[in-house]
Amino acid sequence: MADSSGSGGKPVADLDSRFSNLAPSSTGRKKTGRFNRFDNPLLNWKFLSGAGIFGFIFFLIFLGNQFWDTDLALAGSSPLNMPPVGFTNWRDQEGIPEHPLGTENSGRDMLALLIVGTPRTIGVGVIAASVGMGAGILLGFMAGFVGGIVDDVIRLMTDVVIPIPSLLVLIVIQSALQREMDLVTMALLISMFSWAAPTRYIRSQVLSMRESGYVQMAQLSGVPTRDIMYREMMPNLLPYLAASYIGNMTGAILQAVGLELLGLGPQRIPSLGVTIFFSIEAAALLRNMWWWWGIPTVILAVVFIALLLINLGLDEIANPRLRKAN
């Protein structure tokens, strides 16, 4: 066989230089560093953005009464139907600095209503999501890890509850009660339907993790079942549980606002949904009192956007494939 060096071509030793241009350039590599979100999944811009928005909302919730008088949320505490600063109402009255977001027709200051009503709206979602998530964790682990008849019963329960139109059932229950319920009661009613989806999701995750090597090794080592579920498997499920909790919280707030818009919520307790309901009752749209219903609607939209960003960020943190795809 003839030597390649004598055939007029380049020597074999030159192959590295001939194909060196096919190698990835060092300048084209992704920079790695402590602030690269691919190095640290927690530095996800969606999660950080949503958490920042929600943190600002909580800042207003806990410190709002330090820079604004929340007693102005009481009826008759302010002039009626005042527009925000820089705007005029149908009577050509201009907004005043004492009420920068205006007032409604009962003399409630809109800024005070937001400071008082926003935490109550979010609180319903927190209570309902916490109760539903607690039940979902317990039932999901029992169904996925114990299996057998326990799994069959829990799976049948979730299959029955999930297709039920929960808002319609809540409307019927509240109409049958014929009395005004408080926020905690409304949250507990909503949580009656908020456990099924987390239960199914956690069950599927536990079923896949039950066959993993570290779980089987723990079983062979004689580790108690409770410790395997809550010490070995639970830490690996935390990002999924957090994402499921945020989704549950969003759904609970939507259902609570839906009940309040229909006049079935606690009307004596100011919240964002109740504020919008009163604006509808008073024909604020026809009277061009846009600040009465528009500002609470914007706050609700901001809350939902923040929860959506947190949920998407947690999904990417828990799933490396989503991080690489994005």
CB 29 within 8 A of CB 282: no
What's the pLDDT score for residue 37?
40
- 3-state DSSP call for residue 109? strand
Degrees to nearest 5, angle at CA 123 with 119 and 129: 150
Confidence of residue 323 (pLDDT cuts 50, 70, 90): low
Does residue 147 surpass a pLDDT of 90?
no
Q: Model's pTM, two decimal places?
A: 0.79
Q: Which CATH number does the domain 77-325 belong to among 3.40.50.1100, 2.40.50.100, 3.80.30.20, 1.10.3720.10? A: 1.10.3720.10
Question: Which amino acid is residue 289, in one-letter code?
Answer: M
**Tokens, residue 104:** 């409604």
Mean pLDDT, the chain, as a whole number? 81
Region of poorest pLDDT, from 129-133, 176-180, 284-288: 176-180
Region of poorest pLDDT, from 58-62, 251-255, 299-303: 58-62
Contacts 24+ apart (CB under 8 A), 235-242: 236/209, 237/202, 237/205, 237/206, 237/209, 239/314, 239/317, 239/318, 240/201, 240/202, 240/205, 240/318, 241/133, 241/137, 241/198, 241/202, 242/314
Confidence of residue 128 (pLDDT cuts 50, 70, 90): very high
How do residues 212-241 score in pLDDT, each as one tens digit? 777 778 777 777 777 777 777 887 888 888
Does residue 202 surpass a pLDDT of 80?
yes
What's the pLDDT score for residue 311?
87
Does residue 167 surpass a pLDDT of 70?
yes
Does residue 268 surpass a pLDDT of 90?
no
Question: Which amino acid is residue 238, in one-letter code?
Answer: L
Angstrom distance (rounded) from CA 248 to CA 241:
10
Q: Considering all CA atoms of the chain, what is the largest pairwise distance in Å, rounded to the nearest integer?
A: 104
- Give the residue extent of every domain in the chain: 77-325
What's the pLDDT score for residue 101?
92
